[in-house]
Structure 1
């Protein structure tokens, strides 16, 4: 059988070599695979027992519930791999490449990393216990709901590493790096974890860092001259946002964006975008304005081919960061009216009612609502509502009732596929009382609405299980 041919073999023995594209379940591998190409493996419930994996190329592999017990893994290439509910332990210190890999509910313990790379890797609910990490690259790595026990980060460059809801126990963070990360400042503001911050061998707890060191650091940054300050825009903005000084943060954010755009530093532009996106201080509307501001800095028509390629790749990343990643869902709801240019005073009634319905529920800081009026005949209205998924569905239900119950076939020019449910019903539930009042008002002023279409942007699969039906 060819070396690169896809194989499904339930009887792989430990002495048999691992091959590219191997698919296996419940097997134990303990051989010497040093220097071999074992790319695109798909292994489930397998054990690597003392296997020699030095210098292997395992790029693009998938490991599900696999155990790596006391393996030699030095100089291994495990980029673009997925580790789901795995257990990883090496008997020697290792230099390994885990760039662009995913670790989900995985346990990494009792090993030593040196000169390893984890760039753009994603860790979710992963445990790091008794692990040494020295002189490694972690830029753009994300640690989400991860647990760190007895970990010393003091010899690491943590620039632009993303910590989301971390938990540290008996661990040490480097003082000089905290303000250059995403999430650590917010974490230290409220945590009671057993975590210490170190600088030149001296350790302090999180409360002393937040209460004494951080204010002094902010004052030091603000007293720098403008040339020096330009070098520390990221940590300065990070501190100001954590301390709720949003106006001052925005002032330096504008300077930072201008500077990075002027030298086409797309890397830093993306980091500023992520800082904005992860902050609860910015609404969806503000994020959109920042994206538009960044776009305005560049003129693709004047770029060389390589500049255009670089710009196209990075502007797409920034759009994703600001407008899609981690953002709340947005309801886009399009309404057809029976209003022509002679009845424009009725538009105010509709807008007032939509705003009133959207304000009924507790709002999030990222709330945003836009109502756009077309100039067609008849007038069409587009509602764009960004909120929590619960509030999006509340408004969606109300708007469907408001539009579908007021349709009058003889007053609206509708396409054949336009949903028509009929006039408002004679009976209402208690929760529909406000809708009933609005519909009666529409009858009095001879106003009809119809639902044209709707969709929800930034929808995630988790919403589907919680909201299977739109209207009960």
Structure 2
């Protein structure tokens, strides 16, 4: 664990140079178990980075580019992530509880056991994403695009699903419309039909 925040800033600067020079100078960012809430990240790119088990809770990260990054086990509780880009990122085990992820891009992202409880994902792009045991309970999924995405054992109790698009092209393996303790699993075509009814 890096105790000194100055060292984190140095790493962020090196990563910015690494992105700018397409890897010819600087160094790819790799941080673990860092509380970033007191760091001004507005000037630093966070794409193509390894940022594991870090804390972004309550931060303002609208339009932030996290694409092609490994973000496993980090937390974004109540963070502002409107129009943020998580394309091709691994956000498995990440906690987005109560976050504003409106119109964000999670296309081609990996979301294994990712928590989206009470998150606002309206208008988000989930195209070709992998959602395995992701928790969308009480989340706002209005007008999201799920074309070519995979849903398996996804929790959806209380989720707002009006206007979900791309269901016919999605791979709906199974959904849980109950709770983890008292599951109510719908499989395949039955799951798709339930989603279609809820999205109308």
TM-score after normalising by structure 1: 0.34
Cα gap change, 1:110/1:43 in structure 2, threshold over 3 Å: closer, same or farther?
Answer: same
Give runs of aligned pairs for residues 271-310 of structure 1, distance below 5 A.
none
Structure 2 match to 1:87: 95
Structure 2 match to 1:159: 168
Cα gap change, 1:34/1:74 in structure 2, threshold over 3 Å: closer, same or farther?
Answer: farther
CA distance in structure 2 between the aligned counterparts of 1:40 and 1:185, rounded to whole angstroms: 37
CA distance in structure 2 between the aligned counterparts of 1:60 and 1:163, rounded to whole angstroms: 24
- 1:271-297 superposed Cα distances (whole Å, 9 cap, x missing partner): xxxxxxxxxxxxxxxxxxxxxxxxxxx
Q: 2:189 aligns with which of 185, 191, 212?
A: 185
Contact 1:144/1:163, CA 8 A, preserved across alignment = yes
Give runs of aligned pairs for residues 380-399 of structure 1, distance below 5 A.
none
Cα gap change, 1:93/1:63 in structure 2, threshold over 3 Å: closer, same or farther?
Answer: closer
Give 1:187 shift: 4.1
Q: 1:142 aligns with which of 106, 125, 150?
A: 150
Contact 2:47/2:67, CA 8 A, preserved across alignment = yes
Give 1:106 shift: 1.6
Give 1:186 shift: 3.8
Q: 1:13 aligns with which of 5, 12, 33?
A: 5
Give yes or no for the alignment of 1:96 onto 2:88: no
CA distance in structure 2 between the aligned counterparts of 1:28 and 1:123, rounded to whole angstroms: 26
Give 1:35 shift: 6.6
Cα gap change, 1:35/1:41 in structure 2, threshold over 3 Å: closer, same or farther?
Answer: same
TM-score after normalising by structure 2: 0.75
Contact 1:53/1:73, CA 8 A, preserved across alignment = yes
Rg larger for: 1
Cα gap change, 1:188/1:159 in structure 2, threshold over 3 Å: closer, same or farther?
Answer: closer
Contact 2:100/2:121, CA 8 A, preserved across alignment = no
Give yes or no for the alignment of 1:24 onto 2:31: yes
Structure 2 match to 1:63: 71
What runs of 5+ residues in structure 2 fail to find an aligned partner?
A: 17-27, 180-186
The higher-RCO structure (CA 8 Å, 6+ apart) is 2
Root mean square deviation, CA, Å: 3.0
Contact 2:134/2:153, CA 8 A, preserved across alignment = yes
Structure 2 match to 1:321: none
Cα gap change, 1:55/1:69 in structure 2, threshold over 3 Å: closer, same or farther?
Answer: same
Structure 1 match to 2:118: 110
**Higher share of residues assigned strand:** 1
Cα gap change, 1:49/1:114 in structure 2, threshold over 3 Å: closer, same or farther?
Answer: same
Contact 1:25/1:44, CA 8 A, preserved across alignment = yes
Give 1:96 shift: 0.5
